[in-house]
């Protein structure tokens, strides 16, 4: 059995006091002060003990960052002096898609490298927007040998980003006659990319590149932003170029394993010229997700490229549409278009935009992607609050410009370590031992739209308002 791929996490406390979800309200005038078994001492997460330590350093003790909502203190206090309320600053985090809950859990994972667990369980709506209207099938969860990170069987999460021949031919002596192209394999279906907003100081980019190197994945970055400080990580960088400027980055292209060129009509000659610069180069074509995405994929797949990288907007919606589809529908559309033409195996599909949680990785692959590309979660891991002040030229409340590469890279590694563990848990519960087997496996998923149509459609008729 090959050695298991493992991401080594190490706790990295936040630089600043995090915005906790809950605040403590105590009516101390009603406290007897003589309870031998005060609920503060019985907190299994040592919340109150940590708050007292904060008090000794004159730091804010009120916001309970690590509270897991078990409410034991509220229920067991004999005087009933405790209550929990939502922190108003917590409500102001992020936006409608990048919700406070996503930011809060990402902070926890980047801090600890552990899977987030809530003592109160999930109390949200049954179904929601985007990936929240899709569930994974856990029908194999009873099998102990497929028990995710604790199981005895090896679960492979690697994917390929290189082109594959559709068929093999053999000589008379049964030796392989087909010329097999080189293989580019990464150990997990998650790649990084340079965020399109934020305080992108050199240290932020170095942090992301350093994390990519440690994990073994790749990072999409604008070629013009590859400075001398990033050259040590160049084998893990994918410079993004276009047909007009690629000649300006010849030296970088020679050093890289993979490059991405923006999609434009008539880029066949530019692809050939890239091969001449570096004959071992793997080529990705970047294209925006829009109504023509599937047709564009059919055209690009015929060219001498390895991967197609589709960009949705930051909330996972397609561009240039009055009623945009969410990325899960677009992934399915592109995947099935290639399957119908029997060319799906020729190219790899990567999708970025709206990938906010570990479950989105598995769900995107189920829809038909080979892998996903993330950016915003990496910024959030470094304590970004998604307040968008930087877009208006205002100062960053998280002081991202002061992030040190050693801190930022380990926070990113911790986040991906937690995501990797969750991917293993999902695949183990499905009875799958390889991420490539998960691609397009919609039989391992349930879609609210389909269930509603099958179960309630005959009774109530067709839904008039879209779930999105």
Domain end call among 90, 115, 137 = 90
> For the chain, what percentages of helix, strand and coil (3-state, to nearest 5) are there?
40, 15, 45
**Residue 428 backbone dihedrals phi, psi, to 5 degrees:** -65, -40
Strands of the sheet containing 22-26, edge to edge, are 63-64, 22-26, 82-86
Total count of domains within the chain? 2
Same-domain status, 262 and 379: yes
* Residue 468 domain flag: no
Q: What's the Rg (C-alpha) of the chain?
A: 24
Same-domain status, 339 and 233: yes
* Residue 284 domain flag: yes
What pLDDT score does 165 carry? 79
Concatenated DSSP letters for 218-231?
-EEEEGGG--GGGG
* Residue 47 domain flag: yes
**Residue 66 backbone dihedrals phi, psi, to 5 degrees:** -100, 5
What's the rounded Cα separation, in Å, for the pair 141 and 190?
24
Q: Are strands 22-26 and 63-64 parallel, antiparallel or unpaired?
A: antiparallel
Same-domain status, 188 and 325: yes
Same-domain status, 413 and 322: yes
What's the rounded Cα separation, in Å, for the pair 160 and 158?
7
CATH number of domain containing 227: 3.20.20.70
* Residue 466 domain flag: no
What's the rounded Cα separation, in Å, for the pair 397 and 82?
31
Same-domain status, 275 and 391: yes
What pLDDT score does 226 carry? 95
Nearest to 337 by CA among 283, 286, 287, 299: 299
Query: Backbone dihedral region of 439: left (phi > 0), alpha (psi from -120 to 50 degrees) or beta?
Result: beta
Q: Which domain holds residue 80?
A: 20-90
Sort 54 into a burial class: Cβ within 10 Å, 0-12 / 13-18 / 19+: middle
DSSP reduced 3-state for 427: helix
DSSP reduced 3-state for 233: helix
What's the rounded Cα separation, in Å, for the pair 13 and 27?
31
Instruction: Kindly report the pTM of this predicted structure.
Output: 0.88
Please enumerate in sequence order all residues whose Cβ is within 8 A of that of 209, keeping only pairs 6 or more positions apart, or say none.
219, 221, 230, 233, 236, 237
* Residue 105 domain flag: no
What pLDDT score does 61 carry? 42
Please enumerate in sequence order all residues whose Cβ is within 8 A of that of 273, keeping only pairs 6 or more positions apart, or say none.
246
Same-domain status, 166 and 37: no
What's the rounded Cα separation, in Å, for the pair 216 and 228?
21
Please enumerate in sequence order all residues whose Cβ is within 8 A of that of 136, keeping only pairs 6 or more positions apart, or say none.
359, 362, 363, 366, 426, 429, 430, 444, 445, 446
* Residue 374 domain flag: yes
CB atoms within 10 A of CB 399: 13
Query: Backbone dihedral region of 425: left (phi > 0), alpha (psi from -120 to 50 degrees) or beta?
Result: alpha
Which residue spans within 274-344 are E strands per DSSP?
282-288, 307-311
Q: Residues for the chain: how many in total?
A: 468
* Residue 217 domain flag: yes
Same-domain status, 86 and 163: no
Same-domain status, 246 and 368: yes
Distance (Å) of CA 401 to CA 204, 207, 263, 336, 395: 8, 12, 33, 43, 10
Same-domain status, 327 and 221: yes
Domain end call among 90, 117, 138 = 90
* Residue 98 domain flag: no
Query: Contact, 69 vs 86, CB < 8 A?
Result: no
What's the rounded Cα separation, in Å, for the pair 333 and 293?
8
What's the rounded Cα separation, in Å, for the pair 260 and 281?
10
Query: Contact, 151 vs 428, CB < 8 A?
Result: yes
What pLDDT score does 356 carry? 96
Q: Any idea what DSSP says for residue 3?
A: P
Same-domain status, 424 and 329: yes
Q: Any idea what DSSP says for residue 221?
A: E
Query: Contact, 408 vs 382, CB < 8 A?
Result: yes
Nearest to 38 by CA among 49, 23, 24, 22: 49
Domain end call among 90, 109, 132 = 90
Helix (H) or strand (E) holding 220: strand 219-222
Same-domain status, 86 and 165: no
What's the rounded Cα separation, in Å, for the pair 308 and 320?
19
DSSP reduced 3-state for 84: strand
From the first residue on, what is the mean pLDDT of each consecutive set of 10 residues in the chain (468 residues)? Answer: 82 85 70 75 76 57 58 81 80 92 93 81 77 84 58 84 85 85 93 89 95 97 95 97 94 96 90 93 96 94 94 95 94 97 94 96 97 97 92 89 95 97 89 91 89 81 63
């Amino acid at each position: 059995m090959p050695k298991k791929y493992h991401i080594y996490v190490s706790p990295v406390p936040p630089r600043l006091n995090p915005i906790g979800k809950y605040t403590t309200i105590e009516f101390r005038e009603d406290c007897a002060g003589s309870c031998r078994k005060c609920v503060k001492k019985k907190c299994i997460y040592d919340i109150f003990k940590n708050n007292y330590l904060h008090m000794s350093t004159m730091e804010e003790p009120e916001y309970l960052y690590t509270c897991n909502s078990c409410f034991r203190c509220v229920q067991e206090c004999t005087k009933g002096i405790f209550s929990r309320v939502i922190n108003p600053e917590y409500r102001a985090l992020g936006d409608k898609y990048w919700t406070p809950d996503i930011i809060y859990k990402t902070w926890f994972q980047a801090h600890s490298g552990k899977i987030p667990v809530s003592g109160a369980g999930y109390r949200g709506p049954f179904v929601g927007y985007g990936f929240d209207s899709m569930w994974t099938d856990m029908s194999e969860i009873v099998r102990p040998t497929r028990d995710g990170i604790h199981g005895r069987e090896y679960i492979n999460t690697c994917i390929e980003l290189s082109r594959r021949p559709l068929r093999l031919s053999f000589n008379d002596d049964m030796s392989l006659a087909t010329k097999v192209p080189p293989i580019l394999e990464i150990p997990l279906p998650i790649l990084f990319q340079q965020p399109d907003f934020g305080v992108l100081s050199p240290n932020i980019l170095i942090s992301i590149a350093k994390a990519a190197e440690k994990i073994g994945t790749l990072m999409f970055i604008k070629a013009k932003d590859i400075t001398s400080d990033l050259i040590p990580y160049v084998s893990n960088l994918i410079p993004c170029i276009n047909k007009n400027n690629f000649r300006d980055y010849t030296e970088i292209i020679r050093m890289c394993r993979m490059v991405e060129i923006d999609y434009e009509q008539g880029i066949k000659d530019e692809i050939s010229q890239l091969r001449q610069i570096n004959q071992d180069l793997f080529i990705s074509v970047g294209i925006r997700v829009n109504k023509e995405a599937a047709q564009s994929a059919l055209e690009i797949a015929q060219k001498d490229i390895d991967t197609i990288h589709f960009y949705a907007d930051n909330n996972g919606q397609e561009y240039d549409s009055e009623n945009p589809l969410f990325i899960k529908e677009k992934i399915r559309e592109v995947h099935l278009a290639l399957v119908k033409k029997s060319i799906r195996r020729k190219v790899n599909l990567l999708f970025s935009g709206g990938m906010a949680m570990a479950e989105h990785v598995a769900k995107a692959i189920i829809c038909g992607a080979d892998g996903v590309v993330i950016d915003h979660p990496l910024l959030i891991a470094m304590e970004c609050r998604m307040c968008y002040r930087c877009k208006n030229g205002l100062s960053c409340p998280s002081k991202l410009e002061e992030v040190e590469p050693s801190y930022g890279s380990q926070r990113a590694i911790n986040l991906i370590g937690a995501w990797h563990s969750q991917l293993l848990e999902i695949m183990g519960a499905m009875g799958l031992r390889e991420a490539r087997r998960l691609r397009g496996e919609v039989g391992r998923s349930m879609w609210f739209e389909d269930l509603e149509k099958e179960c309630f459609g005959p009774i109530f008729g067709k839904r008039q308002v879209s779930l999105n």
